[in-house]
Chain A
Amino acid sequence: MTEKRIVPIVMPKWGLSMKEGKLTSWLVSPGAEIKPGDSILEIETDKIAGSFEAPDGGVLRRAVGEVDVVYPVKALIGVIADPSVPDSEIDEYVSGYVTPPAEDEGEAQADAPQFVDVDGGKLRYSMKGEGAEKVILIHGFGGDLVTWMFNIDGIAESATAYALDLPGHGQSSKKIADPSVAGLARTVVSFMESLGIEKAHLVGHSLGGAIAMEVARSAPARVKSMTLVAPAGLGPEINIDYINGFVAANSRRDLKDLLGKLFADQSLVSRQMMDEVLKYKRLDGVVPALRSLADGFAPGGKQKDILSASLNARIPTLVIWGKEDQILPVAHAANAKGAQVEILEGAGHMPHMEKASKVTALIKDQIARAS
């Protein structure tokens, strides 16, 4: 009984390697009324800083976690419950809470990214969930599958979610056989063929959005729906200084201001995030790969592949955009004829990270509608 009325807030597991996180601040005080999806606390991991959103509604009855203390994943941070639950029961819950042990190797293994050989090289991907509907998450320029870490678990509750590293990115092959949007779209189709995915809901961010549209244009039978998050391919304008700066950046100093342009809240750019980007960018072959990609999709500083005309009603399309996007203009959303458009306040070019639960919920709705 009490289990249902008392909702624990535990240290989340963001990304595969996260073992612990530091509670950096509480955004609400005990006694506050909370709605699902409200940002209630800030957490910093060795990879990223981010706000944690309430998994359920109710009243914050206890703020167990102390600021600036590092907690293991699944450690109890707070308790949400209905006001009707007596304090004694809450206290009993808190004192009786045992942090589950860290995942053993076997469990971690099941979650670990895998590799598949496709036309265009070896791709890394992770797969989560068991639902009948298949979802493919395609990251943007310079990103990797980890950029979906706040979304993939939620999506996987009702579908099988695949997040891949495009060629030249993450831990996939760094050689890009064909660095055009069409070439990358063929790689995604080849990825689907290799894994026996006949049809899927495509979710693409930025360049990944243009790739999704190109898959829908060239292989419409494989696409059940599209969710385009700040997609490329809807107009010629692009912040080419960002693209060129990202390709050239070789130090934390170079990256700091640059990565800030991705977010409405620039404080989200942590040292760890910059280190991860630098570690990726230093790998042999990455800089030439990024250069060839940038020259492929934005030669001369303008986007080459404008795919808005290819959108059609047969494939339901949702466009999500952060209002404060500094990389691709939010105005491009209007070019997505026939698509549902959601403009999010307080988000920049990475709404799936900055407004993670909202975007996750929108993606889940889109999948549900199109299934």
Chain B
Amino acid sequence: MARKLSMRQAINEALDQEMARDPTVFIMGEDIAGGQGGQGELDAWGGPLGVTKGLYHKHPGRVLDTPLSESAFVGAAIGAAACGMRPVAELMFLDFMGVCFDQIFNQAAKFKYMFGGKAETPVVVRAMVGAGFRAAAQHSQMLTPIFTHIPGLKVVCPSNAYDAKGLLIQSIRDNDPVIFCEHKNLYGVETEVPEESYAIPFAEANVVRDGDDATIVTYGLMVHRAMDAADALAKKGIECDVIDLRTLSPIDWDTVLDSVERTGRLVCVDEANPRCSIASDVSAKVAQDAFKSLKAGIGMVTAPHTPVPFSPALEDIYIPSAAQISEAVQRTMGK
């Protein structure tokens, strides 16, 4: 029986294996080991949610706890990358990009272009994304569209442990800056994960379910909601293609367009806010390139255009649900 790992363990294993393979790889972030300078244990935390636990002692000198100083340490990771290292910086919550965004979008993203191709910045910024953790407006956002908008950045958002390991390994080996978005509500979800190292190429969407009636395009946690919706729809005789984009920049347009050309119906599902989202981006692309294949208007299921609320009563209805997805698909079917 193949081995199962949680996404948390899979990410830890990817970091562990890449540090073992390549001496230029090191990791840094706030409390990624924890306990520095105190009287108690080192590696007390292993990251705020324990993702990097154990790496500190395994890779001496290569797991760097940072001050709470995102501009400085994310910038230092980027600077080290421009000097031949392959750092992985953990930004804890992607919401914290507000305090270090210049280093990401004005520095890392632009070196290659504005230096006329003569710079490479192989840095990975890992960060948690997504709602459902009762963490309120500043620790729950799905900010993938903001990074996807910036040329020079690559944006990855895995939906499961197998993909997380292979995509993180590819991110570390990739020669461009990568924003690696980890949905905190997927950390505990287990899938089969090979023990060996493997890299999943970017811009290769995963078709996680086949159907001829409608196409659901999504990523991250929403893949699971979409699968729940597709299961429910199948009982009503509606079969959906469910496409997990896996990487948002670059993006696998071919798989999306091939599917829509076959099904003629599209529902884009995105945990981000609706304006200028991945969902609106995919909708626009399909409307431009596959309009003639469409049998119905494109459906979009996203969070509302609000901050993420705190109260569970509100947060639960903020996050797109399987029922909403299922209804959106049925609307494209005229039902």
Size category of the binding interface on chain B? 10 to 19
- B1 partner residues in chain A, CB cutoff 8 A: 16-17, 108-109, 112
Q: A17-B1, A282-B166 are in contact. Are A174 and B204 (CB under 8 A)?
A: no
A112 to B3, CA, bound (A): 12
B310 within 8 A of A: no
Give bound CA distance, A284 to B210, whole Å.
29
Contact of B254 with A253 in the complex, beta carbons under 8 Å? yes
Please, which residues of chain B bring their CB within 8 A of the CB of A109? 1
A346 to chain B, nearest CB (A): 25
A282 and B207 in contact, given A16-B1, A17-B1, A108-B1 (Cβ under 8 angstroms): no
Q: Mark A233-261, 1 if CB is under 8 A from B, else 0.
A: 00000000000000000111100000000
* B210 to A: closest C-beta gap in Å: 6
Question: Does A283 lie within 8 Å of B207, measured CB to CB?
Answer: no
Contact of B198 among A17, A108, A279 (CB under 8 A): A279
Question: What DSSP secondary structure best describes chain B's contact surface?
Answer: loop
Task: Verify A271–B197 contact, CB threshold 8 A.
Answer: no
A96 to chain B, nearest CB (A): 28
Q: Which residues on the B side are within 8 Å of A108 (C-beta)?
A: 1
A251 contact set on B, CB distance < 8 A: 201, 204
B200 at the interface (CB under 8 A from A): yes
A-B contact pairs, 28 of them (CB 8 A): A16-B1, A17-B1, A17-B192, A108-B1, A109-B1, A112-B1, A171-B194, A174-B196, A250-B201, A251-B201, A251-B204, A252-B204, A252-B207, A253-B254, A271-B210, A279-B162, A279-B194, A282-B166, A282-B198, A282-B199, A282-B200, A283-B194, A283-B196, A283-B197, A283-B198, A284-B197, A284-B199, A285-B196
Interface: B2 (CB within 8 A): yes
What's the Cα separation between A285 and B194 when bound, in Å? Answer: 14
Encode A46-73 as 1/0 by CB contact (under 8 A) with B: 0000000000000000000000000000
Mark B194-238 against chain A: 1 for CB-CB distance below 8 A, else 0: 101111110010010010000000000000000000000000000
A112 to B192 CA separation, bound complex (whole angstroms): 15
Interface string of B230-267 (1 = CB under 8 A from A): 00000000000000000000000010000000000000
- Report the nearest B residue to A113, measured CB to CB: B1
Contact with B along A3-39 (1 / 0, CB 8 A): 0000000000000110000000000000000000000
How far is A32 from B200 in the complex, measured between Cα atoms in Å?
A: 48
Q: Which of chain B's residues has its CB closest to A174's CB?
A: B196
Distance A108 CA – B197 CA, assembled complex (angstroms): 26
A219 to B70, CA, bound (A): 65
- What does the 1/0 interface line of A101-145 toward B look like (CB < 8 Å)? 000000011001000000000000000000000000000000000
Interface string of A294-321 (1 = CB under 8 A from B): 0000000000000000000000000000
